[in-house]
Amino acid sequence: MDETKGRIVIAGSVNIDISLAVSRLPGPGETLLADAISVSGGGKSGNQAVACGRLGGDIALVARVGDDDYGRLLMANMAEAGVNTDYLTVDPVAPTGQAYIGVAASGENNIIVVQGANGQLLPETVKAALPLIQGASYVSTQLEIPLATVHTLSELCAAHKVRFVLNPSPVAALPDELLSSVSILVLNEHELAVLAGPGDEAAQLARLLGRGVGQVVLTKGGDGVVLADKNRTAHYDAFKVDVVDTTGAGDTFTGALLVALSENRDMAEAIAFAQRAAAIQVTRRGAQDAVPWRAEVDSVTWPVNEQR
């Protein structure tokens, strides 16, 4: 691995995704017939780790799977992508996490998650991964694992001067103590509304920064990306592509962002790189299976987005 790259550690959930292709998402109490079914690797941290690996990052994953075929499939996915799995442990009781995803013809989706072994990624498990965390450039996590574990990760990062990245999904109210430890908060518009409360976007972003977050990266789908910190607010337009499936696009964006930052690119360049990777992802079906490789992203001729 290129020694000039900073190490990325991603800690959190890994799932098997069972995706159902439907003409549209069902309403409450409604039954629909699926057009197709597919099984692939998923979980927010698993997706981000695969994205980092396929895009050339120096990446290690801290996660937990069950002692079952799904867990072995996920381990194989990580190995193929070049992810360090020394701290991907096997739970002897809990099954591998599972996500059931409805994917509409428009590309939109809804997801129901069975936590499984992800719920057993406990504080002592991530403390055991301290040799990975020490000296890392970035540690990233989300909220599909116990909140106590997220707090422990933030404390380890603070103690060892590692930049802590949080994707607050599935979103929940978070204390200032945790938010103030976050170097980069990557979230979507729904998550912004829950964490920042009512008001327009500018007021919501200011509120999060006022709670101690270092930088906010707001992903808005077809409306692009907004970057906010204490010095600036910048908007980056989205690339226009034919959307097939948005599953995992946010995770690919986050993984790509981390890879670019670990290569010492500035934030504007990192966002452009991450947008390219996510734009390729949404033209394909699935989560981990749809993540592009580095050569694909580098070969894209879309121009770097102008901020405004």
Prediction pTM value: 0.90
Separation of alpha carbons 250 and 37, rounded Å: 22
- Whether the bond between 170 and the residue before it is cis, its omega within 30 degrees of 0, is yes
| pLDDT value of position 111 | 85
**Domain spans of the chain?**
7-14+43-95+118-299
Chain centroid to CA 243: 19
Backbone φ and ψ of 248, nearest 5°: 80, 0
| Reported confidence tier of residue 303, pLDDT bands at 50, 70, 90 | low
| Reported confidence tier of residue 136, pLDDT bands at 50, 70, 90 | very high
The one catalytic residue among 17, 91, 251, 289:
251
Neighbours of 156 (CB within 10 A): 22
| pLDDT value of position 2 | 46
Q: Once rounded to an integer, what is the mean pLDDT over residues 139-161?
A: 97
Please say if 251 is a catalytic residue: yes
Please say whether the beta carbons of 98 and 65 come within 8 A: no
244-282 tens-digit pLDDT: 888 889 999 999 999 999 999 999 999 999 999 999 999
* Per-position b or e across 188-211, b if 16+ CB within 10 A of its CB: beebbeebbeeeebeebbbbbbeb
Separation of alpha carbons 219 and 216, rounded Å: 10
Handedness of CA 187, 148, 47, 293 (dihedral sign): positive
| pLDDT value of position 287 | 80
| pLDDT value of position 1 | 40
Handedness of CA 133, 261, 175, 109 (dihedral sign): negative
CATH entry, 7-14+43-95+118-299, from 1.10.3720.10, 3.40.50.300, 3.40.1190.20, 3.30.360.10: 3.40.1190.20
Q: Once rounded to an integer, what is the mean pLDDT over residues 218-242?
A: 93
Report CA-CA distances (Å) from 299 to 80, 188, 262, 273, 294.
Answer: 21, 27, 20, 11, 9
Separation of alpha carbons 270 and 203, rounded Å: 25
| pLDDT value of position 302 | 64
52-98 tens-digit pLDDT: 999 999 999 999 999 999 999 999 999 999 999 999 999 999 999 99
